[in-house]
Amino acid sequence: MPKDTVEPHSETQTIETDFCVIGAGAGGVAVAMTAAAFGQRVVLIEKHKMGGDGLNYGSIPTNALLAAAKRAQDMRTASPFGVRGVEPLIDHAAVNRHVTDVIARIAPNTTVERFGGMGIQVISAAAKFLNPTTVAAGEYRISARRFVIATGSSPIIPPIPGLADVPYFTNETIFDNNAPIPHLIVIGAGTTGIELAQAHRRLGSRVTVIDSAHALGDEDPELAVVLLTQLAAEGIVFREGIRIARISGTVGNIVVEIAGDGETERIEGTAILVAAGRKANVADLGLDSARIKIAGNAIKVNEGLMTTNKRVYAIGDASGGPRFAHVAAEQADVVLRRSLFRQSAKPAGRSAPRVVFTEPPFACVGLSEAEASTKYGRINVLRWPYHENDRAQIERKTEGHIKVVTTKRGRILGAAIVGAEAGEIIQMWSLAISQCLNIKAMTRWISPYPTFSEISKMAANRYFATLPSNPFLRKVIALLAKLG
C-alpha cells in the first residue's frame, strides 16, 4: 500500500479535520487540493480508483479511443488532399495500449503520494455517515467542520428481459477490450453512446445504436441532425423510438429482439454496450444517519450545493447536475468560496458548456432556441455556416454551422455549434454568457485569418444584418454625407 495511504488498524482511530471529501474524482480532487492550499486540514476518502470516473472510465479513455479512431479515418479520407486514401490495419491490442497509456500519463496528477505531499490525508476505504457530524471509513472515524460528497455515478442497467444473462459492456468495462468487435450494438444514443459508437465504427466495427426515444434527444434538433447525418454516412445504423423486447445469446453471438410499429425484429451482433444513462453513487453512504435527503436518484441540494445537513455539500454527479468533469470542478469552486470565504457563489448551471467529442463535434452553452423563446418570448437567432469559412474549405470540413440566441436587445443567451473545433470555439461563448455580454462585444475583436473561430464573429455580425436597410439609419448617413 502506498506510504501516504492511511492504513487500517485493529483499533478505531478518530480524526478531526476541517474538510472531509468523499470521492477522488474531478470535483473531490479540486476541493481537496484547493482547501489544502489555503491551509485547511483535509481528509480525502476514495474506495476505488483515484481520479474517479472521468480519468478511468469517462472522458479521458473515451477521447483517447476517439483520437485513435480519427487517425484511422484520416487514412481513409486523405484522397481529396492528393494523398492516396487507404484502409488502415487496426491493431486493437495496440489501440488498447494507447488508451491505457494515456490514463497512466495523466494518473500521476491524482496519486496518493502527490496528495500526501500536499498534506492531504488519504483513506482508501468506503465512507459511511454514522451521524450528522461523523463519517466512518475503514477503521477510522472522521469528524469535520465541512463534508463534501463527490462520489460520482455508475451506469444504469435497464431492466431488459435477458440482459442479465448475457455478457455486456458498460463504459466501465469497454476499455478493457483489446480485440476486434465485428458488430457492436449500443443501447442508448446519448453522449456516451454516440461517442463510443463512432470510435468503434472507425476502428472497423459495424455499429447499431438503439434508443427508445430520439438520438441526442436533449440537444437542439437543428444541430443534432447534422451530427447524426454524418454518423449515418459513416455507416452507423440508428434505430430510434423502439422498445427492446428481449436480449439473448452468448459471447460473440448476441440477439436483440426489438419491437416497434407492431412488428418484432431481430438484430444479431457480437457484443453489447449499455450506455443508457447513469445514476448517482449515494446508496451506501448512510445519508439517513446524516439527515441528508434524496431528490430522485441524487442528493438534494440548494442553490449553493448545500444538502439538508448544513455541514455537508454535494457536487458533481452525486448532486444530480450535468455529468461532466468540468462541471464538478466548477461546483467545487462554488463550495470553497461559500465555505472558506462566505461568498454567495452559485454554480453556472446551463451556462456550463457541454461537448459531444465526435467528428464533427457538437458543443453548446446557455439556453437553446426553444428554452430562450419560452423564457423571453421575442428573441434573435443568428447563424453562420461552416462552408462560408475559408479554414473549413482548406481542411475540407464544411459540415455544420453555429447558432447563437440573443434577446431582442442583443444580450447573449446561448450558443450551439456543430462542426470542426466546436469544443474549442464554444469557450468564447461560455465566457460571453458568464459575463452577460451583448452580441456587439463579439464583433469587436480581431480573429486571425484563416481560422475556424471566424464563424463566431460572422454569426455575431448577423445581428446587424438589417441595419443597412433601416430607413432612419440611411437618413442619418445621408445627412452626415451632406455635412462633408
pLDDT of residue 9: 47
Could you read off the pLDDT of 314-340 as tens digits, one per residue?
999 999 978 889 999 999 999 999 999
Give the mean model confidence (pLDDT) for residues 242-262. 92
pLDDT in tens, 191-204: 999 999 999 999 99
Say yes or no to pLDDT of 5 above 70.
no
Give the confidence band of 7 by pLDDT, cuts at 50, 70, 90: very low
Strands 294-295 and 153-155: what pairing? unpaired
CB 278 within 8 A of CB 193: no
The mean per-residue pLDDT over the stretch 38-54 comes to 96
Q: What is the pLDDT of residue 484?
A: 66
What is the model's pLDDT at position 465? 78
Q: Assess whether pLDDT exceeds 90 at residue 240.
A: yes
Average confidence (pLDDT) over 38-61:
96
Could you tell me the pLDDT band of residue 474, with boundaries at 50, 70 and 90? low
Contact 98, 199 (CB under 8 A): no
**Are β-strands 312-314 and 140-149 bridged in parallel, bridged antiparallel, or unpaired?**
parallel
Grade residue 470 by pLDDT with cuts at 50, 70 and 90: low
Mean of pLDDT over the chain: 94
Write the DSSP assignment of 136-155 as a string of letters.
EETTEEEEEEEEEE---EEE
For the chain, the distance separating the N- and C-terminal CA atoms, rounded to the nearest angstrom, is 83
Residue 482 — very low, low, confident or very high, per pLDDT cuts 50/70/90?
confident
Predicted pLDDT of residue 6: 47
The domains of the chain, with CATH numbers, are 5-153+279-348 (3.50.50.60), 163-276 (3.50.50.60), 360-469 (3.30.390.30)
Please give the average per-residue pLDDT across 120-130, as a whole number: 97
Instruction: Please say whether the beta carbons of 44 and 121 come within 8 A.
Output: yes
Q: Which of 25, 308, 326 is nearest to 152 (CA)?
A: 25
Q: What is the pTM of this model?
A: 0.92
Euclidean distance between CA atoms 187 and 159, whole angstroms: 12
Q: What is the pLDDT of residue 1?
A: 42
Please state, in angstroms and as integers, the Cα–Cα distance from residue 67 to each residue in 39, 62, 243, following that order.
40, 9, 33
pLDDT of 41 > 60? The answer is yes
Task: Fill in the amino acid letter for 92.
Answer: H
Separation between Cα atoms, residue 248 and residue 260, nearest integer Å: 18
Mean pLDDT calculated for residue range 352-363 = 96
Q: Is the pLDDT of residue 10 over 60?
A: no
43 forms beta bridges with 20, 121
Q: Does residue 130 contact residue 289 with C-beta atoms inside 8 Å? A: yes
Examine the pLDDT at 8 and tell me if it is beyond 50: no
Residues in CB range of 99: below 8 A, 6 or more apart: 61, 64, 65, 68, 175
Q: Could you report the per-residue pLDDT of 412-422, keeping only the tens digit for each?
A: 999 999 999 99
pLDDT tens digits along 156-178: 999 999 999 999 999 999 999 99
Please check whether residue 257 is in contact with residue 384, taking contact to mean a CB–CB distance below 8 angstroms.
Answer: no
Residue 349 has pLDDT above 80, yes or no: no
Q: Is the pLDDT of residue 29 over 70?
A: yes
Q: Render pLDDT for 282-296 as a digit per residue (tens, 0 to 9).
A: 999 999 999 999 998
Residue 4 banded pLDDT, cuts 50, 70, 90: very low
- The confidence score (pLDDT) of residue 467 equals 61
pLDDT of residue 3: 40
- Please name which of 246, 264, 66, 58 lies closest in space to residue 170, comparing C-alpha atoms: 58
